Structure 1
Amino acid sequence: MTTAVFPGTFDPVTWGHVDIATRARSMFSRVILAVAHNSTKTPLLDLETRVALATRAVAPLDGVEVVAVDGLLVDFCRDVSAGVIVKGLRGGSDYDYERPMALMNRSLTGIETVFITGDNALSHVASSLVRDVARHGGAIGRYVPEGVVDAVSAALATGRA
């Protein structure tokens, strides 16, 4: 049984994230979406909301679970006996960003990173773009699972943006 960890901020979770989780689950017996607290980012949605939305989004996927993570990803991977880290790639710039982290993670613990190329139909969907569209009053419903639109709207209404 191989456990894979799919880390991210998931601010907010998108259909692209669900696509990667679905395809990762077809390769690994257990997939954990590790919703990260990243001290270098100021998320629109709080950690509890991001975990709840991600949990709802992957609920139909057997063998996929969601956990909040604080600290080094490789420590979390060791704690859950993960054999691999999964990262989704939309394009070359994602690879350029993710490759050094994959090499560092392997250097620290020997854990490998598997890159999964995102669905072409979703390659333009990024959480940062979804947030930006929402901030400017645009419709984001087709890019995100149920519940996300309301959570993003509520966060924007409270001035978290």
Structure 2
Amino acid sequence: MSKTAIYPGTFDPITFGHIDVIKKGLKLFDKIIVGVSDVNNKSYLFNSEERIQIVKDALFKDLKLNKKKIVIVSFTSLTTDLCKKYKSNIILRGLRAVSDFEYEFQLAGMNRKLNSNIETLFLMSDVENQIISSRFVKEIVKLNGNIGKFTTKSTIKSLKEKL
């Protein structure tokens, strides 16, 4: 039986930290569903369609990852509903630092209350990627800084075009 994990996030934009979690997840699961959240409680630099294209370009064009093992979708539902749709009982979440843990712990607990069959698996990105956040990447680009160590070439191009 094939094992699928859901990796939800805003990916506004995708970074090497996100990509690290995806690569590690591919070692553990047969398929990763990258769920690009499009809930209205956040303001995004890129709209949902743009973020999906940026993720596809980063993963498949820049990094040449296996298209058969990664599916990128947009969603506006609860993550637990996305799990149900794709018949997955695993949610992948990335942790960068201890400061992430409290929020992620609460989120995992709420998801578990919503569906007791769902487990959240926390993966650490490699040390060199733990400081990266989408917010910092956007700020650095706005100030004309070099983000080559933080995300892929196609993502950098998209950011520069947008800003």
Same fold per superposition (TM over 0.5):
yes
**1:56 aligns to what?**
57
Distance 1:74 1:135 in 2: 35
**1:12 aligns to what?**
13
- In the TM superposition, residue 148 of structure 1 has moved relative to its aligned partner by 1.0
**2:72 aligns to what?**
66
**2:81 aligns to what?**
75
Structure 2 matches for 1:94-113, cutoff 5 A? 94-110=100-116, 111-113=118-120
**2:138 aligns to what?**
131
Alpha carbons 1:32, 1:67 under 8 Å: kept = yes
TM-score, length basis structure 2 = 0.91
Distance 2:157 2:104 in 1: 30
- Paired residue type of 2:78: L
> Number of matched residues?
156
Structure 2 matches for 1:28-39, cutoff 5 A? 28-39=29-40
TM-score, length basis structure 1 = 0.93
- Unmatched 5+ residue regions in structure 1? 157-161
- Unmatched 5+ residue regions in structure 2? none
- In the TM superposition, residue 128 of structure 1 has moved relative to its aligned partner by 0.7
Percent identity, aligned pairs only, is: 31
- Paired residue type of 1:143: F
Distance 1:38 1:93 in 2: 23
